[in-house]
Amino acid sequence: MAETSDMEELMEKIMDALRTCYDPEIPVNIYELGLIYEVNIDDDHVVGITMTLTSPACPVAESLPAEVEYKVRSVFGVKDVFIDVVWEPPWNPSLMSDEAKLELGML
């Protein structure tokens, strides 16, 4: 079983990778937008990410999950990545961080 501090460090690196992914229509990273619902790492360093998009008709519906997978897979220590795109609960602006709301002039 992996050490807790190792898992915490790996989670931080994954979060940093997620913060480099952007919805091209909104100048805020997908983590701060609230598009990442859950990130799990098992003892074998396999990462499961549950995420959504701003809408089912999002123009990056095909490319954004693939970008997330690619960037998280490139984090040292990650063995594999599985992305689950869900539509429930639907994304809405209340899921954004205060940082994102401030960046978009909503605070």
Tell me: pLDDT of 2 over 60: no
At 86, is the pLDDT very low, low, confident or very high (cuts 50, 70, 90)? very high
**Which tens digits make up the pLDDT trace of 37-82?**
999 999 999 999 999 999 888 888 889 999 999 999 999 999 999 9
pLDDT of residue 29: 96
Instruction: Give dist(CA 30, CA 23) in Å, integer.
Output: 6
What does the mean pLDDT of the chain come to? 93
C-alpha distances in Å from residue 52, one per residue of 47, 55, 83: 16, 8, 10
**Which tens digits make up the pLDDT trace of 26-36?**
889 999 999 99
Query: Phi, psi at residue 81, to the nearest 5°?
Result: -140, 135
Tell me the domains of the chain and their CATH numbers. Answer: 4-103 (3.30.300.130)
C-alpha distances in Å from residue 35, one per residue of 55, 59, 96: 10, 15, 8
Cis, peptide link before residue 89, omega less than 30° from 0: yes
